[in-house]
Amino acid sequence: MQVSLINYTPNPELIIAVAARSSASSLSVEEVQHKLAQEQVTNLLKQLLSSGHLSPFEHVSFTFAIEGISRITSHQLVRHRLASYTQQSQRYVSVREHGYITPPTISARPEFLAKYQQAVRNAQELYNLMQEAGIPNEDARFVLPQAITTQLVMTMNARELLHTCSLRLCLRAQWEIVELFTRIKAEVEKVAPFLGAELKPKCYRLGYCDERESCGLFPKRKS
């Protein structure tokens, strides 16, 4: 899996703070921007998060190149609808050279690992044969397993990143999407350290676990 931050709103934390401060200031937006020191920016972001006033976070966005994830994970990813996605097409791109993902639980069971690998090879071989027989990619792909790797470009604003990470960094989420958002968090931290540090499971803000079962980080809320 590879995740790269390929574009983002310059000075993202400052932009969020400027948007928030300008809503209650008689100064122009440019004047607000020049008056805000870094400590003020950080304190203002803390206030916004603690009060749940998150609309200013929508003014900055991050674009990621994501490669080497399974179709299973990409299907989970696009359920987050307040984002933009462009995924590699299996209609136009042959998947002859693509890899596939093996879950750790299968890797740890040799008796199933060999059968799993053989099933993937069989699917790939049939796909290749159908292509060679003139069946178009868009139809031959029906035989491909969800384990096949894919790549995509994803753009999210900071508010949606906070929300998505609150769900997908939960230790009860599926392992591959946890790894994906762990890497996304690391990329954001490079350019927006405070914001990146705030990309974390929702239990850290709630102070309790609201899932059916707790992973142990926080206790279940008492009824």
Burial of 96 (0-12, 13-18, 19+ CB in 10 A): exposed
Strand partners, 148: 100
- Which residues are catalytic, by number? 168
7 CB neighbour count, 10 Å cutoff: 12
Spatial CB neighbours of 45, under 8 Å, sequence gap ≥ 6? 13, 16, 17, 194, 195, 198
- Hey, which residues does 156 pair with through a beta bridge? 62, 83
Among residues 33, 39, 35, 2, the alpha carbon closest in space to that of 15 is found at 33
